[in-house]
Amino acid sequence: MKKRALISVSDKSGIVEFARSLQELDYELISTGGTKNILLENGISVTGVEEVTGFPEIMEGRVKTLHPKIHGGLLAKRDVEGHRRQMEEQDIFPIDLVCVNLYPFQQTIAKPNVSEEDAIENIDIGGPTMLRAAAKNHKYVTVVVDSQDYDQVINEIKANGGAPEVFRKKLAAKVFRHTAAYDAYISQFMTDLAGEENPEALTVTYERKQTLRYGENPHQKAAFYKQPLGSEYSVAMARQLHGKELSFNNINDANAALQIIKEFDEPAAVAVKHMNPCGVGTGETIEAAFTKAYEADSTSIFGGIIALNRAVDEETAARLHEIFLEIIIAPAFTDRAMEILTSKKNIRLLTVPFDTARKVEDKLVSIEGGLLVQEDDTFTLEDAEVKVATKREPTEAEWDAMKLGWKVVKHVKSNAIVVADKDMTLGIGAGQMNRVGAAKIALEQAGAKSEGAAMASDAFFPMDDTVEAAAKAGITAIIQPGGSIRDEDSIKKADEYGITMVMTGVRHFKH
């Protein structure tokens, strides 16, 4: 019996060549609407679905393939006598190959100001139904959803007289991944449209960007996936201009650097090691900003990741070239900067569109057996109800120093303390089990530069010991959330030393 292939695609790329190859392999072709027309226009014989079903397309094409003569042909078990008999009784012919791709729902909802009506009209019903039916029955049916597979399908049929079962199984698995992702887009869109928060089930989908050589350590396998409609201002959407392939740790560090640099409008540079900032600087120029970030911790920056929010020019590139860096992220690199930096073959140079509006995304954290979901921490000092808790008001320079420290400390692993002046970090204490421990690390790193500097804390002071340590190091201004039952102890200690202390009412834990 002559084999049949059903073809119905929204994305027509490569379909004429694929259909012609199937016809040359003696497949009878069945098709719908626009696909049928383009095949006929290219001289390919094709039978309309309506000729198979004996029923016209209706309701603006919403109903065309949802028919027993189509789905019976897809789902019949060819080696089961009862199925064969019923096919014969109902005049149903088997369909051996299905080539379908779906209405462009993802592309539709990516359009600015897409209408609800347009989005819903691009929810495919018949396509996923045919794909799932064919994939379920892959023992007998070859199902193709990706145009990248067209050539391999033809080659397998030519070589084996039909696609081998192991290959059909792989194609079927791809179909179920594809329809699951498609439904995830719809689910997310409809959930947002309905204004649902924390729905009873969460369905998300990601696309593989690359397979990684290994994960955090060489014995761990890893891959990098991107969110299809995710933020363009992200490592996932970054363009790599030069250097080795990104590693698992590179991606994590680069993401951390980008999140910090987003806090700054003025020229700024951020150095990151192990997902913590080791130096942050601002300046009139990007070179001046980088100089400050480098001077903040010239030891830890070695082998680090640098993010800059201005184009890298020749002068800045010359400074960057002097030290060993894993990655440099910037909105652009001048031609001369590229010449300088690419003389090191391994350094990774990335660009992201810094002028793109920031897209706020929920944060997903995997735990064993589950997933934590929370809003992104976009809270800024401008959103806070700031109050001066001490007798002395901050000077303008102290305000500037506290603001810089506050921007940085929210990105430091808790417990976190940042010592800063108005244009750079001076010391960073990260990830300690108690706050005074974090303060001691930050103050020790800042050394003599603590004199007249500001201290920022991600959470309140449970005791006055942190203020005591700050005062002895010469800190003159402290910014912290407040909220401890012993706030008064810290306030009194600050007044005792003439320190100005600002409370924001907002903590920035980062685990």
Cα–Cα dist 264/248, whole Å: 26
Residue predicted with more confidence, 285 or 202: 285
- Cα separation values, 36 from 49, 127, 132, 176, Å: 9, 15, 22, 25
Cα–Cα dist 313/341, whole Å: 11
Q: What pLDDT digit, counting tens, does each position of 106-147 carry?
A: 888 888 888 988 988 888 888 899 899 999 999 999 999 999
Mean predicted confidence (pLDDT) in 363-377 = 92
Exactly one of 3, 274, 321, 422 is catalytic; name it: 274
Cα–Cα dist 236/173, whole Å: 25
CA 323 distance to own-chain centroid: 30
Q: What is the 3-state secondary structure (H, E, C) of 380-436?
A: CHHHCCCEECCCCCCCHHHHHHHHHHHHHHCCCCCCCEEEECCCEEEEEECCCCCHH
Cα–Cα dist 255/260, whole Å: 9
Token pair 């190859």: residue: 21
Is 71 designated active site? no
Cα–Cα dist 157/144, whole Å: 13
Mean predicted confidence (pLDDT) in 363-375 = 92
Q: What is the 3-state secondary structure (H, E, C) of 36-54?
A: HHHHHHCCCCCEEHHHHHC
Model confidence at 381: pLDDT above 90: no
For residue 339, the model assigns a pLDDT of 96
CB contact at 8 A, 491 and 394: no
Exactly one of 83, 136, 170, 174 is catalytic; name it: 136
Strand blocks (E) in 219-376: 222-226, 239-242, 268-273, 276-282, 304-308, 325-330, 348-351, 363-367, 370-374
Mean predicted confidence (pLDDT) in 248-263 = 96
| Amino acid at residue number 68 | P
Q: For 157, list phi and psi in degrees, rounded to 5.
A: -65, -45
For residue 105, the model assigns a pLDDT of 84
Is 219 designated active site? no
Mean predicted confidence (pLDDT) in 150-176 = 94
Q: What pLDDT digit, counting tens, does each position of 420-465 carry?
A: 999 999 999 999 999 999 999 999 999 999 999 999 999 999 999 9
Q: What is the 3-state secondary structure (H, E, C) of 2-49?
A: CEEEEEECCCCCCHHHHHHHHHHCCEEEEECHHHHHHHHHCCCCCEEH
**pTM score:** 0.87
Q: What is the 3-state secondary structure (H, E, C) of 202-234?
A: CCCCCEEEEEECCCCCCCCCEEEEECCCCCCCC
